[in-house]
């Protein structure tokens, strides 16, 4: 184990935990730098967050959590459901200085940062030690400092954490951290998670929404079931929800319900009917459930909406609605339809 002024770094076995190889497989590319060069941030995040919900990534995540458990000497804790992936491109800043308490995390939460590329002083995370973090945070509150002030103070007190793929960096959630402009010729890809020791406060983050429990002794593999993701932007509630945002909503729901992604689909735009959804309902011989971002993925036309639900019922296919936490037929169509009409009426009264 290495130490950088109070942060702690441990290593994981890259021959056993093949995180980088999985990313190569996802992008059909054998070089992280080329993956970042060839793809937009949005596309990279889309692929990574989609892959997170699949079995291969879950197994790797579980192995990393076991190493984290061993290092922290914790058998029981809560861990962040979905890791936060970060891209730090050349000539860019990844994230400004902050501490995670500012964004609702509890003071006893532990930050875990895992680079997937080699780092240097320009493209890595910078961390401010505990003493200076407290001093700067007190100034921030008393003097009502702005973000530019915080960045300058943190940079003068912080240190770059030069770590490599295979390293896991730990530091307290109350410590200031951020990034500098990447003046190097290397992009950086990393992900970070938060660990909440059992019995400690999560801050304002609801445990059941943000975390999952880890129990090294009693943990059992939950039985999972494949599902289709169905993403749609055309309806009024979903216009401003990108595919990436909708996918994250569905991912969170599916983790709770032990559903894993088999295939993702969107509906054809420019037509009033739903040809793709009709196809999935008619040709879904294995009765694989379909998960929608919201009930408002369904058409405004009540006749067409009823027809689609009737077809799902006839075929014996469960329909899940992530935002509302509905599942048809557990919740009957009549009640779901009343919910839809109520909010559609409110929308019309406000905006029409």
pLDDT tens-place string over residues 12-48: 999 999 999 999 999 999 999 999 999 999 999 999 9
pLDDT bucket at 3, cuts 50 / 70 / 90: very low
pLDDT tens-place string over residues 45-78: 999 998 987 889 999 999 999 999 999 999 889 9
Other C-beta atoms closer than 10 Å to the C-beta of 26 total 17
* Sequence ranges of the chain with CATH classification 3.40.50.1390: 225-351
Residue 255, pLDDT score: 78
Taking alpha carbons only, the member of 226, 197, 232, 195 closest to residue 210 is: 195
Average pLDDT, integer, range 273-296: 93
Residue 235, pLDDT score: 77
Residue 140, pLDDT score: 93
Which of 53-57, 189-193, 213-217, 274-278 shows the lowest per-residue confidence on average (mean pLDDT)?
A: 213-217
By percentage, how much of the chain surpasses pLDDT 90?
A: 73
Residue 244, pLDDT score: 82
Mean pLDDT score across all residues of the chain? 91
E strand or H helix that includes residue 346: helix 333-351
Half-sphere exposure of 255 (CA within 13 A, CB side): 23
The first and second tokens of residue 35, run together, are: 């993956």
The first and second tokens of residue 84, run together, are: 């936060």
According to DSSP, residue 203 is labeled: B
Please tell us whether the domain made up of 225-351 is placed in CATH 3.40.1110.10. no
pLDDT bucket at 286, cuts 50 / 70 / 90: very high
The first and second tokens of residue 123, run together, are: 């493209």
Which of 1-10, 17-26, 321-330 shows the lowest per-residue confidence on average (mean pLDDT)?
A: 1-10
E strand or H helix that includes residue 280: helix 275-282
3-state class (DSSP) for residue 28: coil
Q: At what angle do helices 55-72 and 41-52 cross, to 10 degrees?
A: 80
- Global pTM exceeds 0.75: no
pLDDT tens-place string over residues 138-186: 999 999 999 899 999 999 999 999 999 999 999 999 999 999 999 999 9
pLDDT bucket at 206, cuts 50 / 70 / 90: confident
Query: For residues 74 and 196, what is the distance between their CA atoms, to the nearest angstrom?
Result: 10
- Say if residue 344's pLDDT is above 80: yes
Query: For residues 176 and 111, what is the distance between their CA atoms, to the nearest angstrom?
Result: 11
User: In CATH, what is the architecture of 2-215?
Assistant: Sandwich (2.60)
- Say if residue 217's pLDDT is above 60: no
* Sequence ranges of the chain with CATH classification 2.60.120.620: 2-215
pLDDT tens-place string over residues 85-94: 999 999 999 9
Query: For residues 200 and 188, what is the distance between their CA atoms, to the nearest angstrom?
Result: 32
- Say if residue 1's pLDDT is above 70: no
pLDDT bucket at 4, cuts 50 / 70 / 90: very low
CA-based angle 72:215:8, to the nearest 5? 15
- Say if residue 267's pLDDT is above 60: yes
Residue 263, pLDDT score: 87
The first and second tokens of residue 142, run together, are: 């008393």
């Amino acid at each position: 184990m290495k130490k950088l002024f109070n942060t702690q770094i441990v290593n994981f076995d890259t021959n056993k935990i093949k995180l980088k190889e999985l990313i190569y497989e996802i992008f059909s590319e054998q070089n992280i730098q080329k993956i970042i060069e060839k793809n937009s941030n949005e596309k990279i995040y889309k692929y990574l967050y989609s892959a997170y919900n699949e079995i291969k990534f879950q197994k790797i995540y579980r192995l990393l959590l076991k190493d984290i458990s061993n290092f922290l000497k914790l058998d029981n804790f809560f861990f962040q459901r979905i890791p936060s992936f970060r891209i730090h491109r050349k000539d860019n800043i990844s994230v400004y200085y902050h501490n995670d308490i500012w964004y609702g995390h509890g003071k006893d939460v532990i930050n875990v940062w895992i680079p997937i590329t080699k780092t240097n002083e320009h493209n890595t995370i910078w961390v401010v030690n505990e003493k200076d973090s407290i001093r700067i945070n007190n100034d921030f509150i008393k003097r009502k400092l702005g973000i530019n002030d915080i960045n300058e103070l943190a940079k003068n007190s912080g240190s770059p954490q030069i770590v490599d793929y295979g390293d896991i960096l730990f530091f307290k959630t109350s410590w200031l951290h951020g990034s500098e402009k990447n003046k190097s010729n290397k992009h950086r890809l990393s992900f970070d998670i938060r660990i909440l020791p059992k019995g400690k406060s999560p801050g304002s983050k609801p445990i059941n929404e943000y975390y999952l429990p880890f129990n090294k002794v009693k943990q059992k593999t939950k039985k999972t079931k494949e599902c289709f993701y169905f993403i749609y932007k055309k309806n009024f509630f979903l216009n401003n929800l990108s595919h990436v945002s909708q996918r994250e909503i569905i991912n969170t729901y599916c983790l709770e319900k032990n559903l894993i992604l088999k295939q993702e689909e969107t509906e054809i735009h420019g037509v009033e009917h739903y040809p793709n959804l009709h196809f999935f309902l008619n040709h879904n011989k294995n009765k694989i459930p379909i998960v929608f971002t919201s009930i408002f993925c369904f058409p405004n036309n009540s006749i067409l909406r009823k027809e689609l639900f009737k077809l799902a019922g006839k075929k014996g296919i469960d329909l899940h609605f992530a935002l509302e936490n509905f599942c048809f037929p557990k919740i009957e169509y009549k009640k779901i339809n009343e919910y839809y009409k109520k909010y559609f009426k409110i929308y019309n009264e406000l905006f029409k």
